[in-house]
Amino acid sequence: MVPVKVLARAKSRMSASAGPHRQALALAVAADTVAAALRCDRVRDVIVVTDDPVPAAELAALGARVVPDEPDAGLNPALVYGAVRGRELAPDSGVGAISADLPALRPDELARVLDAAAGAPTAFVPDAAGIGTTLYTARPGVPFAPAFGGDSRAAHRARGARELLVPETASVRRDVDTLPDLREALALGCGPRTTAVARLITALHTPA
């Protein structure tokens, strides 16, 4: 599952730096994330959870399945709903949720992380800052109980999920919330949509 915010509210922490390109950046980052996940040979389906028709249409065109944000009670309930839909489609498969803001995501690195995740009932990947979470997984038959938001690294640990620190998988951990995050993602090598929008963001090309 990939949760995608309504674009009007997405990437709010980059309002000043991205300016008029903020919504385009949010959509580009989500599209590059979804495209990379779809190219991963360990991924059977990508389910996008969103109530915004604009990313819904673009991400569906890439090959993702799109479901509404139900029960409209926040991120984690929406992901649980997406997991229910995913298990209806593939009861024998594990399920996972990944952040929508991993524009440098590489399919081979995601595959290595998912292989590692298969060894635990539930598992998660901490973000690059070591506070949040970029990926949470549950094996077939195991309750899917994500705890994204705030200090989700500690929350997932407290729930007994296995923390995965797989070598050479930086693209799975580099989420983008701020301009410095975006610089680091670009240094790793972002997907084409994010790279194109980044060229338009003046703050990226202004000396710090």
Residue ranges of the annotated binding site for phosphoenolpyruvate are: 133, 149, 152
The Cβ of residue 186 has, within 10 Å, a number of other Cβ atoms equal to: 17
Strand partners, 3: 49
DSSP code for 142? S
Q: Is 57 helix (H, G, I), strand (E, B) or coil?
A: helix
In Å, how far are 75, 116, 154 from 166, measured between CA atoms? 26, 8, 18
Residues contributing to the annotated binding site: 133, 149, 152
Q: Read off the tokens for 128.
A: 């690059």
Nearest to 38 by CA among 57, 11, 56, 61: 61
150 DSSP assignment? S
CA distances from 54 to 35, 60, 66, 145 (A): 16, 10, 11, 28
